[in-house]
Structure 1
Amino acid sequence: MLNASCLHRPELTAALASGDRKLDNLTVPYPRTFAAGTTIVQQGAEHDYVYRLRTGWVGRVRALPDGRTQYLMVFLPGDLFAIKSVFVAAHPDAVVALSDVTVERLAQHRLRDAFDTDPEIALRCTWQIVEEERRLHNWVVSLGQGSAEERIAHLLLEFSVRIGAATGTGRALEYGIPLTQDQLGNVLGLTSVHVNRVLRRLREDGLVSIRNRVVSIHDAPALERMAEPLRDATLQARARPETAAG
């Protein structure tokens, strides 16, 4: 399912939705499951499949030679991942199940053939790459310039909007999150101690809380205002009407 929060040109909506349905028809109809912690794509290895995430959370992870790791991207239900399989001989990063997940997969050579014959499928896959680039650009700004509070607000709101769009609710004010505080710190470029300190302050201020790995957003307009400096211009414009209505 194409994420309804996508920021594409409106004239592309029909073609993107059609390409999304066609991708569903191409994927193998027998879902595969992976347990939390399983490496689905090995860093530095060739991989022959592209995936549609149906349930659970998946992360793209870069491991350094000395054992340090960095989470680069989090994929949520409905997302395509490992599209690089079509283009590269070896994946530069690993793809790891952050929770128990269900996926459907498509052999990369079949997707490459579809690129050549169906412009709507090619458009849908290209859009996935463009949307990932947009998120990564925002995150580079966040890591380089954002305060800890801004980073955490930005991340929790991004998950809220993406999950809400996938479920048709617009924005999820409560959702499960499989990431531990250590993993959150890895994504955010912060220590787990710092993450814990900021989350406690946000909870005490009545903005957001995380209990038993469930995020509850209590004051969405205030969280939006906190995150706004790190969000790109289009997201800022989309957020303002909701904030005003709140």
Structure 2
Amino acid sequence: MKLLIVEDDSRVMGALRAVLVQHGLEVACARTGEQALELVADGPDAVLLDLGLPDQDGFKVCTQIRKMSNVPIIVVTARTDWRSRVHGLNLGADDCIVKPYNVAELVARIHAVTRRAGTATWPGGVAPTSTAGAGPHVFGPVSLNTESRVVMVDGQRIHLTVKEFDLLALLARRPGVVFRREQIMSGVWGTAWEGAGRTLEVHVASLRQKLAVPGLIETVRGVGYRLTHPVVPTEVA
């Protein structure tokens, strides 16, 4: 598995790279946002993006990477303000970790985002698992394939971020059943942190806008969300 580390502190980068290599990762390093954008083109399986870069704002780099690729992004920040973390997630990051962090936790988070993205195989041949049952599924004009992670609306492919897809796939597991907010946060983001609720609302709003199927994702006030159309498995042509 290939990981791109974007970090301007050479000591931090060197120490982190050494640890991650011991965990069996292939690591590429960038010290600036410009270098990061160049290396993203090489197709890493995940990006560890520090926000404190010398040449440009880390949030801007996150936005640019997301325009180029669906690669999972873990934002690293020393900022304890929850608004900064939410802002990074809203820009397309898949996770956020605050310095100082435990390396074991970081490795677990890398496992989680690549597993959800379905793009990487870890050392030992451990393949990532899907976030939903076998697909594809059809609900109204929307077709969801959880193996290829492709979503179509009226025959047109729709670009979703990793988290948007995971959210839709989670709801598609049990159409018509209400998923509590804490269930969704745990299943998609791996956290029960109450302050992340706004992140969920933003992702739901973005998903609704991209799918453009009124009433498909229903808000159950005070509880959570559900899919209102039945999901019917179909044969793959």
**Normalized against structure 2, the TM-score is what?**
0.30
Structure with greater contact order relative to length (CA < 8 Å, sep ≥ 6): 1
**Normalized against structure 1, the TM-score is what?**
0.29
